[in-house]
Structure 1
Amino acid sequence: MIRLILKIIYNFYMNRFVSDFFGSKYSKRVLISYITKPFRINSKSHTNSYEVVSAAKIFHDLGYQVDIMFYENASPNLEKYDVIYGFGDVFKKYFESGFTDKITIYYGAGMHIAHQNTATLNRVKSVYEKKHVWLGKSSRFVEKNWSHQTTLVDAIIALGDQECKKTYRRYYEGPIYSLPAPFYKTLDAIKVANARNSESKKASYGLGALVLFTKG
């Protein structure tokens, strides 16, 4: 119970609204709807921290005052913003608000949600056909499709390759810009691969000797 209460308090603190992060006081304003934790603590637990902070810096460099909200929280007054960027409930609010003068940009980290959901449910079905048990809770199904943000926006930024981009084109006729997914380089991939190959060879030699011994 105590852990649950502490988790609620922690999430409440981390997900609070961030106002004018850079203290710029620019006249133009952008609202980023994403995650707010990276603006409170420096973390490399996930690349989404790098992604949202990079977006904020870009808008700041373009002369925008940057506000950030947690994507599931209640949206602020949208009248004061020139640009709405990111994903989440804020897009539905905007397109139902009656405003017409805001620039809207959806940021999609991966393929279209409809594509992802269909793929994961087909996998659930495949497992059922083989094992005769439904494991729907094990799937990564996204309940909120937020269709406003992938249909009505001015532009889409899709994090992925051209195949990823195609999943959005099925539902959207506007400009789509694909970006390669970032990563944190913590180890040298070539050194890791060479080390694994070396260990595999040693294991093979040891196994061979063991087989010869047991046969002999």
Structure 2
Amino acid sequence: MICYIKSIIPTSFKVYLKRRLRFYRVKKNIFNGVNRRTALISYLYEPFIYSEETRHSSWIEVRQIALALNDLGFNVDVVDCRSDVMLNDKYDVMIGFGYFFRNNYKMARNNILYLNGGHPDFLERAEFKRIVEFNNRSQPHAKQKRKHEFVLSSDLGLTDNIILLGNEYTRKTYSSSLNIYTINAPAIISPHFSEIKKSKNCQRNYLWFGSSGAIHKGLDIVIDFFMVNKNLNLFIAGLSKDEEYLFNLDRDNIHNIGFINVNSPEFNDLITNVGYMIHPSCSEGMSTSVLTCMSHGVIPIITRECGVSLPEGLGYFLDSPSLKSLTKVIDEIKTESFESYLSRSEQLFEYSRLNFSQSNFNRTMTTLLENILDERNEQD
């Protein structure tokens, strides 16, 4: 009977069910350690199943957090932050966020909340404002796309220590009374990229490199600019299929190229031919799409809400996520020589590789965890 039931279940449903069931499991001792102390990460489960892949910078983060804990002498378990399983196990350390962290944080002696965005209330207000602005001037209307339930305002009181992916701008969206340590996000680095190579026309080509939540990330503002400035080209990468209906993409100078894998040769070709990336987001922790472009020499035009600090002369801040601010910045850079641009691109590449590498994230995370745990041990 069981064999018959299995035979009539579609393969696609079996795959879906298998993936969903992983949300309710804890992957135990991922490094097969023999340490006395134990740690649990509530974040992502899949990066430890598909160990040869990197689908998002968050996969880098969770792997490097695990390595840091392993280096500090912990056996490391991992669970998906979306899991609603209740465990009876006890841990020396738990780090992460989400449903699981919220429901199980008391099972660890030391709890560290890991945040990858601005304050949830700040984020909610910022996105709502952008959606209203878009709907007041556009048809069809958009709805709030991004989900914010993984981190609630009430979660901030669950622990004494918070590690925040972001810069000081991101930090200031939270109360100054919270004990928050900031850390730079890691960029995704293409294995096909080793040096800056730019086409002579790259300064006429701009990139929006995003994902789901296109209004949140300011794509409507970017498209409005290029609909008027037809002598410049816009390449849109990462726009989700279910949001395409929101935008008029039928323009000769606007190219919707879909999802592009940073680890592919196509990405290398893309960044050779674009000079700037535009990201007028209304709220981020530290935008890894910006960091990834910077780490390949693409000069950013961004809002401060992206959570990225820029060295003098190696990028541009918009006064606000608006068409007026974007027009002002692009008008300023139109006359720059190719030689000057190329020099800045190379400087940006060197700066970004130093500050947003996986190894830098690992070193900083290891130091933060060590300091937090040492301070807690002294208090005990």
The TM-score normalised by the length of structure 2 is: 0.46
Aligned partner of 2:264 in structure 1 is none
Aligned partner of 1:175 in structure 2 is 179
Out of 110-119 and 11-20, give the one that drifted further.
11-20
Tell me the amino acid that sits aligned with residue 40 of structure 2. Answer: L
1:12-63 per-residue CA deviation (whole Å, 9 max, x = no partner) reads 3654420011111322111100011111112111011110010011111111
The sequence identity of aligned pairs, in percent, is: 26
Out of 22-31 and 76-85, give the one that drifted further.
76-85
1:153-179 per-residue CA deviation (whole Å, 9 max, x = no partner) reads 121111111111111236xx2321111
CA distance in 2, matches of 1:176, 1:129: 37
CA distance in 1, matches of 2:73, 2:22: 26
Tell me the amino acid that sits aligned with residue 13 of structure 2. Answer: I
Is 2:57 the partner of 1:57?
no
1:21-40 matches, within 5 Å, as 21-40=30-49
Aligned partner of 2:17 in structure 1 is 9
1:174-196 per-residue CA deviation (whole Å, 9 max, x = no partner) reads 321111121112246842xx315
CA distance in 2, matches of 1:180, 1:189: 23
Gaps (5+ residues) in structure 1? Answer: 205-216
SS in structure 2 opposite 1:102?
A: strand
Of the three residues 83, 96, 101, the one matched with 2:93 is 83
CA RMSD of aligned residues (A): 2.9
CA distance in 2, matches of 1:54, 1:5: 32
SS in structure 2 opposite 1:136?
A: coil
Is 2:170 the partner of 1:164?
yes
Check the 8 A contact 1:14/1:40 in 2, yes or no.
Answer: no
Q: 1:113 to 1:3 in 2, by over 3 A?
A: farther
Aligned partner of 2:119 in structure 1 is 112
The TM-score normalised by the length of structure 1 is: 0.76
CA distance in 2, matches of 1:78, 1:174: 29
SS in structure 1 opposite 2:136?
A: helix
1:101-124 per-residue CA deviation (whole Å, 9 max, x = no partner) reads 721111111222222221111111
Tell me the amino acid that sits aligned with residue 109 of structure 2. Answer: K
Of the three residues 125, 136, 153, the one matched with 1:129 is 136
CA distance in 1, matches of 2:142, 2:12: 27
Q: 1:199 to 1:89 in 2, by over 3 A?
A: closer
Of the three residues 62, 81, 84, the one matched with 1:74 is 84
Is 2:172 the partner of 1:185?
no
Q: Which has the higher helix share?
A: 1
Q: Aligned pair count?
A: 194
Aligned partner of 1:207 in structure 2 is none
CA distance in 2, matches of 1:150, 1:69: 20
Of the three residues 144, 147, 153, the one matched with 2:159 is 153
CA distance in 1, matches of 2:161, 2:86: 22
Q: 1:135 to 1:200 in 2, by over 3 A?
A: closer
Check the 8 A contact 2:41/2:94 in 1, yes or no.
Answer: yes
SS in structure 1 opposite 2:174?
A: helix
From the CA coordinates, give the structure whose radius of gyration is larger. Answer: 1
